Amino acid sequence: MKAPHVANYKDYLYPDAAFCAKAAHDDVSLIPPPLVMQPTEYIRKSLEELEYGKTKSLNVACTHDGTL
């Protein structure tokens, strides 16, 4: 994904601003990690009965101002 340089990143903090539509967007596919990959037994047990992983993808865009 390319992150275009912008002079003032603060303008891009508001995703409903008209110029945000100009930023390139990409879809990112998501998959739920298997329960055995969860770090603790507590987390594994607490997720056993829940449906998780319903979000199949995200549509993301990014910009940068040249600083870290």
Question: Residue 61: its pLDDT value, please?
Answer: 84
What are the respective helix, strand and coil percentages of the chain, to the nearest 5? 30, 20, 50
Token reading at 47:
């997720």
DSSP-assigned beta bridge partners for residue 27 = 59
- The pTM of the full predicted model, rounded to 2 decimals, is 0.53
What are the tens digits of pLDDT across the range 23-56?
A: 778 999 998 888 888 899 998 898 888 887 888 9
Q: From residue 53, how far is each of 19, 41, 47, 48 by CA, in Å?
A: 32, 19, 11, 12
